Amino acid sequence: MRLKIFTNLLYAFLVVAGTIGFSGCSDKEKEEEKPAVTSSNSASATIGTTNFVSTKMVASTELLLPGVTIIDLSYINQAGDTLTFGIIEAAKTGDKLTYEVATDGPEINIEAGYEINYIKVNGTEYIPSNGNKGEMTITLHDKTAKIIKGTFSGSLTSFDFDDPFNPDKEVVNITNGKFEAKY
């Protein structure tokens, strides 16, 4: 009889302990089941008359100065054109980064919160130049997962490194820009 009471008490204890243990696990499992942040490693924008949609992305980071890391992103479209960004890794979700280039006589004033270049497959390079402005909004930056996403717009001017003083320069406007990357 004592064995049966002991067995029943042991069974009751195990049922209660198991219920508490499983309910504790389920809360942890719920916390761990948060969807992972992902990236399509893509960029798209209207650049001048070109509807740029990337088919390939290359990402890297580089130490610019002690404590200052730059995220380098290069997106390539089907035609072989390349859109590149340099973003300071310290940028946070919600940050608005800008660039503006202006000349004041012989001085060139550059304010740059990020870098952007556009290189067409024919070798024409578009860079921030006099009168160009742009804006990038970081919509997500998860430094643990190393994923960054954002929107961008602005203008760039063609630049010929072989003839830098050529007055015939084309300005392209960039609209509806979006990017995301795992770096």
pLDDT digits (tens, 9 = 90+) for 64-98: 999 999 999 999 999 999 999 999 999 999 999 99
* Dihedral sign, Cα of residue 60, residue 62, residue 68, residue 72: negative
Structure tokens at 74: 């290069």
116-120 average pLDDT score: 97
Q: What is the reported pLDDT for 15?
A: 41
11-24 average pLDDT score: 42
Kindly state whether residues 19 and 85 are assigned to the same domain: no
CA distance 127 to 47: 12
Greater model confidence, 1 or 49: 49
Structure tokens at 15: 């049922």
141-160 average pLDDT score: 96
Kindly state whether residues 162 and 73 are assigned to the same domain: yes
Apex 138 CA angle, 111 and 126, nearest 5 = 50
Which among 130, 36, 131, 42 has a CA at the least distance from the CA of 78?
A: 42
Which among 62, 126, 110 has a CA at the least distance from the CA of 88?
A: 62
Kindly state whether residues 96 and 20 are assigned to the same domain: no
Q: What is the reported pLDDT for 107?
A: 82
Kindly state whether residues 30 and 117 are assigned to the same domain: no
Kindly state whether residues 73 and 113 are assigned to the same domain: yes
Q: Is the pLDDT of residue 153 over 90?
A: yes
Three-state SS at 48: coil
Domain range holding 30?
1-34
Total domains, the chain: 2
